């Protein structure tokens, strides 16, 4: 198999809304992820950021470190300053054998603010896109030289949220800037992950597999509720339990020779959506489609 199946700890504990899963230990997360059969996990807020500590926590479970989120501020500082700021994170990922970093611009972001409506998300002014893309390309080349790939994560509540935003980023940067294709976030934003997979298959470095419950999404959009309100109401679920057409998403990735991780990332309220049950369901569905 060329792809590997991983999971994000958001299934157990939420980074943006820490009260969700606050009582679930890191050991429970790792033990259950391994029990279900995942090969790796991404970082979460309960993970130690010292490779000498984290490595021995992962190894008894046979889990690799898949990647980990890094918050960019390229609208506020240049690429050199950003590269310097990310050194501890880059060192942690590198020490544990990871060569892909999940990156998202967080200047003005609203996704962690439970009071912010979806319509309040930040946007990049038309005249600032060229500078933003130039800095992104410069940073990606610095990271490449250090053995790390930049996988840009389009995300609700950030400046790169919509399909149009993704297109402007991809068109404005060279191939050093790669894409984290998140099926759930793109669907939430009104985009089409199948179209994105077809357009950018050769530049996809990482895949987050979260599905969407369309009935919940419709209500959240109609109310202009917050992103976190959508999470709590269950807008996201594991692949195979919503409306995303995963066979159609995966076909162009397979055709382009994608050999990275397929990561279940479906933040839900663990008191409503039992983490072990949903982790198992997500893996069983993905394993039927992986290549």
Q: What is the DSSP string of 207-270?
A: EEE-EE-HHHHHHHHHHT-BHHHHHHHT-EE-TTSSS--HHHHHHHHHHTT--SEEEE-----T
Residues in the chain: 291
Domain 4-287 has CATH 3.20.20.150: yes
Question: Do 75 and 43 form a contact (C-beta atoms < 8 A)?
Answer: no
Would you call 105 helix, strand, or coil by DSSP? strand
The pLDDT of residue 79: 98
Question: 264: which strand partners?
Answer: 7, 209
The pLDDT of residue 64: 98
Other Cβ atoms closer than 10 A to 25: 12
pLDDT values of the chain reduced to their tens digit, one per residue, 291 residues: 799 999 999 999 999 999 999 999 999 999 999 999 999 999 999 999 999 999 999 999 999 999 999 999 999 999 999 999 999 999 999 999 999 999 999 999 999 999 999 999 999 999 999 999 999 999 999 999 999 999 999 999 999 999 999 999 999 999 999 999 999 999 999 999 999 999 999 999 999 999 999 999 999 999 999 999 999 999 999 999 999 999 999 999 999 999 999 999 989 999 999 999 999 999 999 999 999
What are the structural domain ranges in the chain? 4-287
The pLDDT of residue 156: 98
d(C-alpha 201, C-alpha 81), whole Å: 30
Q: Helix (H) and strand (E) counts for the chain?
A: 12, 11
Structure tokens given for 148:
């790390």
Question: Do 137 and 174 form a contact (C-beta atoms < 8 A)?
Answer: yes
């Amino acid at each position: 198999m060329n792809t590997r199946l991983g999971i994000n700890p958001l299934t157990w504990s939420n980074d943006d809304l820490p009260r969700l899963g606050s009582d679930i230990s890191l050991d429970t997360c790792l033990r259950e992820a391994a029990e279900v059969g995942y090969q790796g996990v991404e970082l979460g807020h309960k993970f130690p950021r010292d490779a000498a500590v984290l490595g021995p926590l992962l190894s008894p479970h046979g889990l690799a470190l898949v990647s980990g989120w890094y918050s960019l501020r390229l609208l506020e500082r240049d690429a050199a300053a950003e590269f310097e700021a990310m050194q501890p994170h880059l060192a942690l990922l590198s020490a544990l054998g990871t060569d892909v970093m999940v990156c998202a611009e967080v200047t003005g972001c609203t996704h962690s603010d439970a009071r912010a409506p979806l319509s309040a998300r930040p946007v990049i002014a038309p005249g600032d896109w060229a500078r933003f893309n130039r800095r992104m390309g410069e940073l990606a080349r610095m990271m490449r030289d250090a053995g790390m790939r930049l996988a840009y994560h389009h995300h609700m509540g950030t400046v790169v949220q919509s399909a149009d935003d993704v297109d402007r980023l991809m068109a404005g940067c060279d191939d050093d800037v790669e894409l984290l294709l998140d099926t759930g976030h793109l669907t939430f934003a009104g985009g089409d992950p199948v179209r994105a997979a077809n357009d950018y298959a050769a530049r996809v470095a990482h895949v987050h597999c979260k599905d969407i419950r369309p009935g919940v999404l419709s209500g959240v959009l109609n109310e202009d509720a917050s992103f976190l309100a959508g999470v709590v109401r269950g807008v996201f679920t594991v692949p195979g339990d919503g409306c995303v057409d995963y066979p159609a998403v995966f076909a162009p990735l397979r055709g382009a020779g994608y050999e990275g991780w397929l990561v279940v990332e479906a933040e839900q309220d663990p008191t409503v959506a039992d983490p072990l049950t949903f982790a198992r369901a997500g893996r069983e569905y993905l394993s039927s489609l992986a290549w």
